[in-house]
Amino acid sequence: MSARPAALFALDDAHLPLLFPPNLLKGLRATVDIDPGLAVRDFGDERVRALLPEVEMLITGWGCPPITPQVLDGLPRLRTVVHTGGTVKSLLDPAVFGRRVAVSSAADANALPVAEYTLGMILLLGKGIFALREDYRTALAPPADLLSRDVGNVGRRVGVIGASRIGRRVMELLRPFDFDVLLHDPYVDAAEAVRLGARATSLEELLMTSSITTLHAPATPATRHLIDTDRLRLMPDGATLVNTARGSLVDTEALTRHLTTGRINAVLDVTDPEPLPAHSPLFRLPNVFLTPHVAGSQGNELSRLGRSALSEVERAVRGEPMAHRVDLAALPRSA
């Protein structure tokens, strides 16, 4: 790669100033030859097609058009793709890897706010905050049985499904607290689970014994409706399901039926479909805390993704291995 290679943004230009505020953009322009005023949304655009033959690096993000074999044919010098988002599955054709193109993503950087959101919800759930809020609103006075309620986080069992980047971050953030953490992941053995701060167990035991179950598995054909009506039935009365992964992991119709009874609770940042139809009961149930897919990077958190991307660009230009290179072999079982 040349000393200052030609690079091109391929993403929604509305995200550019958030991903690369002035200090980061300055560092990027010192490292690669890039037009900060051009963010590609269509590789077929005549102006863009004229630039592609010289491009050695693509800096991609949300809104990037798919990088197909046809697009690659117009990028003969492409050697590096640095993605400012998480998953690259819907972005890159596998042909990218076959053409000796190194691909990096900011999935690790994006994992942190999701894990922070999850930790915050777990701490509030353990204190019974959501139910207490509803009771306080209704009675307009503190509940008489406040001290005797089954609330508090000492020894409370949290079940983590999936030792993904985010799942591992969640377990890391849980370490300072007094939780009893279970982990279910078919790719993690008992010894590794202990190193992560958890005890490995079956999915059934995790669901049957956890007060709070949090989902961090990838969306794959094998995990579609991983949490179905039979598995929801295993959850004890008063337990809560937290989903910040993908809506397809849960059978939404089954979950809605279980939640409507009031027997269990849910914190849902993702749903299937997304967004939910306006008539969905999940918008109105008091035992459901619904947010619009905001656990990932938002606002000033996007600059963390840009900082991660800039570091990868600098490594690539220096000829060093990238720290967050995407492994083609791992894609089928990753997010």
User: Contact at 8 Å (CB) between 292 and 274?
Assistant: no
* Single-letter amino acid code for the residue at 190: A
Rg from Cα positions in the chain:
22
Spell out a b/e string for 20-29, using b for 16 or more CB atoms within 10 Å of the CB, else e. Answer: beeeebebbe
In the set 184, 216, 246, 324, the catalytic residue is 246
- Give SS3 for 19: helix
DSSP assignment letter at 263:
S
Q: Residue 46 class from Cβ within 10 Å (0-12 exposed, 13-18 middle, 19+ buried)?
A: exposed
Q: Which stretches does DSSP call E strand in the chain?
A: 7-10, 57-60, 80-83, 102-105, 157-161, 180-184, 199-200, 212-215, 240-243, 265-268, 288-290
DSSP assignment letter at 72:
H
In the set 224, 293, 304, 325, the catalytic residue is 293
CB atoms near residue 292 (< 10 Å): 11
Spell out a b/e string for 237-271, using b for 16 or more CB atoms within 10 Å of the CB, else e. Answer: eebbbbbbbbbbbbbbebbbebbeeeebbbbbbbb
Phi, psi of 60 (to 5 degrees): -105, 170
In the set 274, 301, 304, 325, the catalytic residue is 274
Copy the structure tokens of residue 242.
């937290």
**CA 312, chain centre distance (Å):** 20
User: Contact at 8 Å (CB) between 200 and 188?
Assistant: yes
Does the annotation count 216 as an active-site position? no
Does the annotation count 324 as an active-site position? no
Does the annotation count 293 as an active-site position? yes
Active site residues: 246, 274, 293
